[in-house]
Chain A
Amino acid sequence: MPITEARLIIDSRKNPYYNMGFDEALLVLKKQGIIPTTLRLYMWGPSTVTIGYFQRIRDVVNLEYAGKHNIPVVRRITGGGAVYHDMYGEITYSIVLDAKGPLLDVQESYRIICSGLVETLRHIGLEASFAPVNDIIVNNKKISGSAQTRKRSTILQHGTLLVSSNLDIMEKVLVVPKEKLISHKVVSIKDRVTTISIELGRDIEPEDLIPYLIKGFEKALNLKLIEEKPSTKEVRLAEELSEKYRKHEWNFKR
């Protein structure tokens, strides 16, 4: 399969409304044929909880804790579960690409795109594997989760990679149904989740992962990533779309 050139955007730490607005802008612009396949790597400031499109906010977030600790809670346009994005311990990726060939099948497309993260983790010495529906595990613990939406034949997939996230805060701010914990045969989030720092036994910064993520996605998706700054059009659209994610009606719609 020939190598395809694709864009890479490395963003600095951004607020959650802009981050979600930017990912949506990528989807809109890719669908319109204005931008090519694009991988974006970014972080969050402040630490944030995002929840899946279908989740009830009060079911999955300890809103009292989040409020007390100034942790914003934002609903994504993608399904899946609630995620704690630790501003100092997590890196997020998003990718927009055409749904064609093997990517037409939703479950298979998760596996293919997530293989970029599996490769990333292998490059740093961790034996990782994809665990359907949308997770990546190391030593039987979740280290990454992804979520995807589709608009016609365009895919937006974004996901988290836990580098050195504070699992104590994660456990306090997220509410996990006991049915989910039982199905994973664990009693708490900390039994089910791990980080790169824990697995490697040393401190790692999220930024340290960037070269490995680039290599991982290039290998997995047969891409040659070329870094570019976000265009004015992208930034403007992201800012416009970010307004939705600030709204109570959106975040509390379920």
Chain B
Amino acid sequence: MKIIKRSNAGKTLVIDIDFKDNVITDICISGDYFAYPETLIEELEEKLKGKTLTEALKIIDTYKDKITLLGITLEDIKQAIKDAYDNLR
């Protein structure tokens, strides 16, 4: 499933995500945003795989002090994942 969200912070967030039995099996957090350091986005994607929605949202919160985002926010990522999950139901 693909969720495209134009963030109030100014950039486009695209989440491609698959769920199986309420667990994230694959996720790609793409878009024209900026993240510093960049590699944390790939790290986050890996950490979210195999997690439930609740677990995933908690993991994202742990990045608050680790990553600087420009153009999107961690809340945008959480909301997009929630939207994808809701769309499945």
Contact = CB atoms under 8 A, between A and B. Distances in A.
Contact of A79 (B4, B14, B28, B33): B33
Interface of B, helix, strand, loop or mixed by DSSP: strand
B6 A79 contact: no
A182 B6 contact: yes
Interface string B28-60: 111111111110010000000000000000000
Interface in A20-73: 52-56, 59-60
Contacts of A81: 12, 32
B70 A107 contact: yes
Nearest to A107: B70
Contacts of A183: 6
Contact of B28 (A80, A150, A254): A254
B70 A55 contact: no
Q: Looking at chain B, what size class is its interface with the partner chain?
A: 20 to 34
Contacts of B33: 54, 79-80
Given A133-B10, A177-B12, A56 B38 contact: no
B30 A79 contact: no
Given A106-B70, A254-B28, A80 B34 contact: yes
Contact of B34 (A82, A148, A180, A254): A148
Interface of A: 52-56, 59-60, 77-82, 106-107, 110, 132-134, 147-150, 177, 179-180, 182-183, 254
Given A56-B16, A179-B5, A180-B6, A149 B38 contact: yes
Contacts of A52: 31-32
Q: Lowest 4 A-B CB distances belong to which pairs?
A: A81-B32, A79-B34, A179-B6, A183-B6
Contacts of B10: 132-133
B37 A56 contact: no
Contact of A106 (B9, B28, B32, B36): B36
Contact of A177 (B14, B29, B37): B14
B4 A177 contact: yes
Nearest to A151: B37
